[in-house]
Amino acid sequence: MHIAIIEDDPIIAKAVQTAASEAGHTCTVVPDGAAAVHENTLLSCDLAVLDIMLPKVGGLDVLREARKAGVRTPVIVLTALAAVPDKLGGFDAGADDYLVKPFEMDELLARIDAVHRRAAHKPAMELSAGDLCLSLSTKRASIGGRQIDLTPTELSILELLIRYRGQIVTRKMLCEHVWGFDWDGPTNVIEVHINRLRGKLDRGREQSFIQTVRGRGYALAVV
């Protein structure tokens, strides 16, 4: 596997490169965000380990631009920013995993293998429920041909709801699917995203696509 290490700390970059190389991977080190954008780094690797606090162009900006361009290369964010809002911001920008510095190298290597395995297993890329369609390949949603502009988090929520169409999707399921961990903070974070998604999907409709199942979670209405 070809791994891009986008990291401005030369000691960390060298340590990750050495460990990944010893594990059988080839590595490219990119020292700043501007170089990563200019060289299309995320497009030319199999997986990227990405710092957030990069010089010239921040790591999340690199990630957002790549995702906006349709690049689906798996990305593990490796950063000193440990607060939950920082983690949510990373996942919202399109990260596949998030690891906080200082870290154990064995854990990073295990996460690299796990993320790569998940990316290799490709579920159905075109989902639909009635006239609601979601393309995971283009990251676009539409209703009856009307394009819906959704954030990465909204797309992830909608994906899970469609896959479990007619079944209850719990808050725990949403958190693990969208952010990769069990959210133990205020539940209104989920509700905010659900309400924003409803506002975009339900325009001109009397009944919402997303039904609230009190005390249990949410379900996509069978249409």
In terms of Cα–Cα distance, which of 57, 58, 100 is closest to 76? 100
Q: Please give the model's pTM, rounded to 2 decimal places.
A: 0.60
Contact (CB, 8 A) for 69 and 44: no
Mean pLDDT on 108-134: 84
Task: Write down the H helix ranges in 136-187.
Answer: 152-163, 171-179
Task: Give backbone dihedrals phi and psi of 136, rounded to 5 degrees, phi first.
Answer: -80, -20
- 3-state SS assignment for residue 105: helix
Give residue-wise pLDDT tens across range 139-151: 889 998 889 999 9
pLDDT at 81 over 60: yes
Return contacts of 52-61, CB within 8 angstroms, 24+ apart: 52/77, 52/79, 52/81, 52/86, 52/90, 53/8, 53/79, 53/80, 53/81, 54/6, 54/7, 54/8, 55/8, 55/31, 56/32, 57/32, 57/33, 58/33, 59/6, 59/33, 60/89, 60/90, 60/93, 61/33
- Asked if 72 and 118 count as a contact pair (C-beta separation under 8 A), the reply is no
Percent of the chain with pLDDT over 70: 94
Tell me what pLDDT residue 131 has.
87
Given this model, what pLDDT does residue 71 score?
83
Residue 19 has a pLDDT of: 97
pLDDT for residue 159 is more than 60: yes
Domains of the chain: 2-120 (3.40.50.2300), 126-220 (1.10.10.10)
Q: Find the range with the poorest average confidence among 74-78, 115-119, 179-183.
A: 179-183
Q: What is the mean pLDDT of residues 175-188?
A: 66
Between the alpha carbon of residue 139 and those of residues 114, 134, 155, 181, the distances in Å are 23, 7, 7, 22
Average predicted confidence (pLDDT) for the chain: 89
Tens of pLDDT, residue by residue over 34-63, are: 999 988 899 889 999 999 999 999 999 999
> Is the preceding peptide bond at 102 cis, omega within 30 degrees of 0?
yes
Give the pLDDT mean for 7-22: 97
Confidence of residue 204 (pLDDT cuts 50, 70, 90): confident
Alpha-carbon span 208 to 175, nearest angstrom: 22
